Structure formats: structure tokens, C-alpha cells
Structure 1
Amino acid sequence: MLTPEQFKNVFKDPIPASSPHITILAKPNGLNHPRLGLAIPKKHIKLAVGRNRVKRVARESFRIHQHQLPAVDLVVIAKGGCGNLTNEELAKLIGKLWQRIVRRCNG
């Protein structure tokens, strides 16, 4: 997702999947594929290298799981402590949240 309007649309009445470190919000998009948006605030991850690492892991996880996801717009939001997780822990956590989104959108 690229424009602020697309992000605002997801923030209005989303389908959430949450953990203590990451929240994923989903909203049907009317397309035939999912789209990803990232919100990694400086407030929670101070250094750019940490924010970029979280973005990289989230994008890679999305790339791997996108064919299982319904046609929704997704926003991944990092919370406090997210930067302390290893790449493996982060990927595993995001993978679990994708599955929760699939269940909530299809069920």
C-alpha cells in the first residue's frame, strides 16, 4: 500500500490479529490479492537499522505467505519490545499472526 488514504481505510473498522510485540490489521480490499503496509514507529524502535530489520522480516514473511492470505489490505504495526526479538522469533510470530488473519477473514 502506498497512499495515506489506503492506510486510513484499513484503520477504520479493521480485523485485528495482535501479540505483545506486533499487531496486524486487515480490511477487505476488493482486489484479487493481498497488499502490505508497514507502520514501524521510531517511538518503539529507536535506530533505523532496527526498524529496517523489522520491515525486512515482515516483507519476507508476507512474500512467503501471500498466496494463503485472502484479498485484504494489511498493516503491520510494531509495538515496544519488537526490536529485541531475533529474526527467527519475529518471522515465527508474524507467521502465526498471518494464520490468525486467515481464520478471522474466512470464518
Structure 2
Amino acid sequence: MVKLTFTRELRLLTPSSFTFVFQDPLRSGSPYITLLARFNNLTHPRVGFAIAKKQIKHAHERNRIKRLVREYFRLHQHELPPLDYVVMARTAVLELSNQQIIELLDKLCNRIKRMAQNPSAPSA
């Protein structure tokens, strides 16, 4: 049976983990969200957030974005390759509904999956 929990091991927790992803990432972006990813040495994906107060001023709005991303990763963790993901959001993401954000995440993750399977392809 597949467990759909979002445990501590599925999160990027240390600054060195974030630095590792920022050094040489697979990049998938939109005007709303940028998704960076890099292969890890684990058997599961991990996710972290780099959502600046300068981009999204109110805490409740940043928390909404993080809550939606965590839920997406919780439900799709077994479909994702073993990558470390960092999610960055821009101010324009506040215009989107929750459903639109989930659809955008799905599109960005699928793009990252294709890049991970074919590393010679250019990043978008």
C-alpha cells in the first residue's frame, strides 16, 4: 500500500541542501512559479521553498502557496523522480486560484520529469 504522508524526510531542511540545488539545477518556470530541481542520492523526492517576502508580502499568502505545494508533493511523491525541488514564487501567483496553482505545478513537474529523463535537452 502506498503511503501518502508528508514526513520530515520529504523536506529540504538545511542551507546546504538548498545550496546544492541552486548550484546546477534543472529549471522549469512560468510567470508565476519557478521550479528548480537536482538529482539527490536518495530514493525519494524532497521539496523546499524559497518564497521571498519581497515577492509575496503577506504571510497568509505565502502560507497558502506553501500549503498547496506541500499537498501536491504529498499526493504525487511516488510519481516524481528522486530529485530535490526548490519552489520559488512571484507576485503574480496571487492572481491564481488554488486549482490553477495545482495545474501549474503539475505542468512544471512534468516538464522537470522530461528533463530528468533526457538530460541533454535544454531547460525551459
Do Structure 1 and Structure 2 share a fold, with TM-score over 0.5?
Answer: yes
Please give the residue correspondences for 1:3-82 in structure 2 after superposition, counting only pairs within 5 Å. 3-82=14-93
Which structure 2 segments of 5+ residues have no match?
Answer: 1-11, 119-124
Aligned-residue RMSD, C-alpha:
0.8
Q: Which amino acid aligns with 2:21?
A: V
Deviations 1:40-74, CA, capped at 9 Å, x for gaps: 11111111110000000011111122111111100
Deviation >6 Å, runs of 4+? none
Deviation of 1:39 (Å): 1.2
Secondary structure of 2:80's counterpart equals coil
Structure whose CA Rg is larger: 2
Instruction: Give the TM-score normalised by the residue count of structure 2.
Output: 0.83
Deviation of 1:83 (Å): 1.7
Secondary structure of 2:18's counterpart equals helix
Asked if the contact 1:10/1:25 (under 8 Å) is kept, the reply is: yes
Which structure 1 segments of 5+ residues have no match?
Answer: none
Deviation of 1:80 (Å): 2.3
Asked if the contact 1:51/1:83 (under 8 Å) is kept, the reply is: no
Q: Which amino acid aligns with 2:102?
A: A
Deviation of 1:4 (Å): 0.4
Distance 1:85 1:11 in 2: 26
Distance 1:45 1:2 in 2: 21
Instruction: Count the aligned residue pairs.
Output: 107
State, as a whole percentage, how many aligned pairs show the same letter: 50
Q: Which amino acid aligns with 2:68?
A: V
Q: Which amino acid aligns with 2:74?
A: R
Match 2:105 to one of 85, 94, 101:
94
